[in-house]
Structure 1
Amino acid sequence: MNLPYEIYLQIFKLLDKPTISNCAIVCKDWTVPAFQVYYKEIAINEHGDALKASLYQEPCFKYCLWTEKVYIRQDRYGYHQGARKPEDPLTEQAFLKFFEYFPNLKIIEIIESDYTKCLRDIDSSQYLTRLEQIIFKERSYSEWDDLYCTIYYNFRASLAHISLHHARKSALESQYGGILSYLRQFKKLTHLAYYNSSSYYVTVYKVQVACPSLTSIKMYDYRMIPPAFQDDSNVFYQHSHLKELSVTFANVTSNYIEYIAKCLPKSVESLDISINDIDFYDWIDQVGIDNALKLAQVMSKLFSASLEWVPDKEYETKHENSGESDMTIFFKMLNVFKGDKKVSCTASFSDFRSIHNSISFFGEDLRIHYGLNYVDLFDDSEGKLVLEMVVPDRTISVIGPEVINSLMFFMCVTDPDLAFKILKYSLTNCPHLQSLEINGVNTPRQECILSSSIDRFRKRVEKYDPVTISAEALKAVNLKGFLPSQECFDLLSCYLPGILGFTCKSERGNRFDNSEVPQDYVVDLTQFKSLQEFYFDIGLVSTSLTRLVKFEFTDGETSYYQFREKKDTMFESISLEDIQNNQTFFISLITFRCEKIEKFAFYSSEKCNIFEFLRGLPQKERLLSYDNEKNFVDLIY
């Protein structure tokens, strides 16, 4: 097959490295394009001896002409995998020699390595002259921050990306005359991340003037509140090429909002604002709802934007409801932030950090995090505390949960009906839901997942359609840690009549019911006309009693099966006559009413046994495979 060189390159880019390596030895036409892709990114780690042996053999590096990124990882224990003796690391001279073979290198990513200091001594006028970015993945200490600062400075002629940590006593002040003086030396700098913990406040405008080529600025100043600006103050450099701006402050005042609204350069496509000293509602009280909505309106016109409030966990809000509920205010803000875009919405609700809220938007994806507080969760109007989640006032907020397409709950509150109540809330208020996940972190630890496909139950959907209705999208149900009531089955069949797969699991290691009193359960699945697969963990019912399973098929056929934990064969057929003759055992009966669906299975998560029925016919009992993470990998949802 004779293809143009450029086509080979595009094909090889889609393959993994072992496959590319094999392709390189297939024929002469494949060798060069395959190695060009293979060596675009390389990694060196603890193989010091092997690398040293080839450093002075130039043919070993003939393909490194194409290398654009090098990962440097050093095993701090000095052992090559599988070797019995430690390998010596490269000397500084050998390490510098290594980089002579990479004339077109653009990115170095260095992770927990003693080689970091060697980068400081490379002659950047002769080697790595095209280096654009150095990514440090080490623990940040002040001494390391100064080292990074010095290394960046060494490559200031070519670097386009840097990430600076500016402490009170740092090399930026003592050696380079301050942050602005330092930045002026980087003539090609386009992306700056600046973490400021010094006492010196620097404005976005001054940074832009120092580096007019910047297209992306991320400024993190967790303790600073931007000062009030006068009418003639310069907030942004209007002649810059800035496209992305991200700022983190203790608070953002109404004055700063005014200047963002008036002076944000037209070139900006992305704006992220993070506030870490005050929560959303206190911030609204301070700046006023009109100013908050003005900011949201500015951000709604951008391609990408985010607003978040992440105060410390000890923070106590001062806000008191006065006519409008918290959720109404939040969705009112969301409505303006969203604008008139027809986009999908992914949301997470949690009471774990009730003071954390965020709204973000990127392209066609709207994301929100809503912190559930006491008044969102409980109703005590009748003198009794009831778990009853609220909805916003649509006459004020305009939009509500109906805009949500994917929803996740992370809940600390305990309630025996937690999963059911949230399930009911979600299906009732989110008609376009295409994914739902409920996680209870405290006992009883209940979980619930609604998914779009039984074939890819554990794979998240990457993109949601904002107009698809839940009944068409949601096809699989996975419940864990609770025995669904008939009310739960009725709810699901009402909103999701087209369910194809259903799973009821127990919490592994935690018995659901240890009652010594016989209890009977009925699971009526006859209302699920499209059901193809149903799995039921026998651990959801009493574990201390002899258990019987009864099948009542819609064609009138009835059969019984017995479950015993201590027998090699855990599930066995039993006749009604044998049951009636054996009255000495405490018996707990669970009855399944259903059609003869494609696959029906009940199993024991404790013993890893599964007993299946295919279209009503019993199959041979088998043992579930069990992986290292203690998940049932053989159980297809």
Structure 2
Amino acid sequence: MTKWFQVVNAFKGNKKVLCAIRFCKIGVLHDYFKYNALDNRLVLGYGLEDIDYFGELEEGLTERFDGRLSTSPISTVGLEIIDRLILSLRQPKDALILNFLKHAFTNCLNLQYFKVSNFLLIQGHPNQRNSDLDETQNNLNMVHFICGAPNNNMLHVISEYLRNIEVLVFGSRSSSDNLILSLTYFINLKRSYLIIQGISEPLYVKFEYLDGKEQSYYYYDGSLIREDKQDSSYSCRSFTFICKRDTRFTVCVGSNESLLNFCIDTIQGDCHSISAILVFT
């Protein structure tokens, strides 16, 4: 990393140079640094070695630090020039993702694109493009949970650092049988999407609003059916979203591929708009 930041320091004072950094498990990616003159961007790749996951103890022993990744800056410019940060690991642990999120939100002040493998993507609007550091700060407004639904710790950390998120995208895959997600932390949330990813078993989806109203749906055999209350005869996974009344929610039936390539401007598949106006008690 020292060589990295020697390159970065050469651009000190140039507020039009941005930097994309990609961390990968060693063996997948060899270290590299490039300069893209068209985008006026540094592109840096770094293969993570065992020392990035293990801490050295006495007598040559090592200890696994789940969720600990050393990304300390060795630069007089600082991490504010980083606008794209990518962590590519096959099965990153939640603790590692959470610590990586905290580090990025705290230190990379001009971050515009943050991706963790096929688990999480945070970005500004895809059509929005800036090339000056003064124009990029605090433009993150979309969170896409690519692998499905997050755990509540991850959602809470994101909401603590990025309360102005406007769009949330969830998938239906989840390790939890009954998942409750509160979206009320996001004060400027305008749209949310749930992608039901071609599952065959029934899925129960419930929307609870801050004024006490609620509405429920079953997804079964390709259809989304509105219900007054949960039918106990169904044994299925459930999602409960706690929302504000002015949040537009859309449920789309698709595939794993449709979730990976989901775009709010070109929504495809069988979609159902959930209106908070028509809710019942």
Within 2, Cα distance between the matches of 1:583 and 1:613? 23
Deviation at 1:336, TM superposition (A): 3.3
CA contact (8 A) 1:597 1:614 kept: no
SS for the counterpart of 1:538 is: strand
Q: Does 1:613 align with 2:274?
A: yes
The answer to which structure has the higher helix fraction is 1
Q: What is the identity, as a one-letter code, of the residue corresponding to 1:572?
A: I
Q: Which among 10, 13, 16 is matched to residue 337 of structure 1?
A: 10
**126, 134, 139: which one aligns with 1:467:** 134
Matches of residues 547-562 of structure 1 in structure 2 within 5 Å? 547-562=203-218
Asked if 1:432 is matched to 2:110, the reply is: yes
CA drift of 1:532 comes to: 0.9
State how many pairs are aligned: 259
1:392 has 2:72 as partner: yes
Conserved 8 A contact 2:204-2:236: yes
2:196 is aligned to: 538
Shift of 1:349: 0.9
Give the deviation of 1:421 after TM superposition.
4.9
Q: Relative contact order (alpha carbons < 8 A, sep ≥ 6): 1 or 2 greater? A: 2
Query: Residue type matched to 2:110 in 1?
Result: H
Superposed displacement of residue 522, structure 1: 0.5
Alpha-carbon distance between aligned partners in 2 of 1:614 and 1:361, rounded to the nearest angstrom: 46
TM-score normalised according to structure 2 size: 0.77
Q: In 2, Cα distance between the equivalents of 1:363 and 1:609?
A: 40
Q: Among residues 523, 526, 546, which one is paired with 2:184 in the alignment?
A: 526
Q: State the distance in 2 between where 1:363 and 1:583 align.
A: 59
| CA apart distance, 1:465 | 2.7
Give the CA deviation at 1:552: 1.0
Say whether the 8 Å CA contact 1:497–1:529 is kept in structure 2: yes
Partner of residue 415 from structure 1, selected from 84, 89, 92: 92
Contact kept? 2:4, 2:33, Cα under 8 Å: no
Q: Is the 8 A contact 1:553 1:593 kept in 2?
A: yes
**Structure with greater strand percent:** 2
- In the alignment, does 2:53 pair up with 1:378? yes
Which structure has the bigger radius of gyration? 1
Q: How far did residue 353 of structure 1 move? A: 5.0
**Alpha-carbon distance in structure 2 between the residues aligned to 1:594 and 1:494:** 17
Match of 1:380, SS state, is strand
Q: Distance in 2 between matches of 1:588 and 1:452?
A: 31
Quote the sequence identity (%).
Answer: 17
- Provide the alpha-carbon RMSD of the alignment: 3.1
Q: Give the equivalent residue in structure 1 for 2:21.
A: 348
Structure 2 unaligned residues grouped into runs of 5+: 57-61, 259-268
**Which residue pairs with 2:252 in the alignment?**
603
Equivalent position to 2:161, from 495, 498, 503: 495
Return 5+ residue gaps in structure 1 as ranges: 1-326, 441-445, 507-511, 619-637
CA–CA separation in structure 1 for the residues paired with 2:65 and 2:182: 32
| Matches of 2:17 and 2:216, distance apart in 1 | 48
Q: Give the alignment partner of residue 594 of structure 1, picking from 233, 243, 246.
A: 243
Q: In structure 1, the residue corresponding to 2:72 is in which secondary structure?
A: coil
- The offset of 1:575, in angstroms, is 1.7
Cα contact 1:378–1:385 (8 A) shared by 2 = yes
- Tell me which residue corresponds to 2:42: 367
Whether contact under 8 Å (1:331, 1:400) holds in the other structure is: no
Deviations 1:14-65 (A, max 9, x none): xxxxxxxxxxxxxxxxxxxxxxxxxxxxxxxxxxxxxxxxxxxxxxxxxxxx
Secondary structure of the 1:342 match is coil
How far has the Cα of 1:525 moved from its partner? 0.2
Quickly say closer, same or farther: Cα 1:602–1:493, change in 2 above 3 A: same
Q: Which amino acid aligns with 1:367?
A: L
| Separation of aligned partners in 1, 2:51 and 2:38 | 30
The one of 98, 110, 121 equivalent to 1:449 is 121
Judged with a 3 Å threshold, the aligned counterparts in structure 2 of structure 1 residues 538 and 361 are, in CA distance, closer, same or farther, namely closer
Q: CA deviation at 1:528?
A: 1.0
Q: Work out the CA distance in 2 between the residues paired with 1:601 and 1:493.
A: 21
Which amino acid counterpart does residue 503 of structure 1 have in structure 2? V
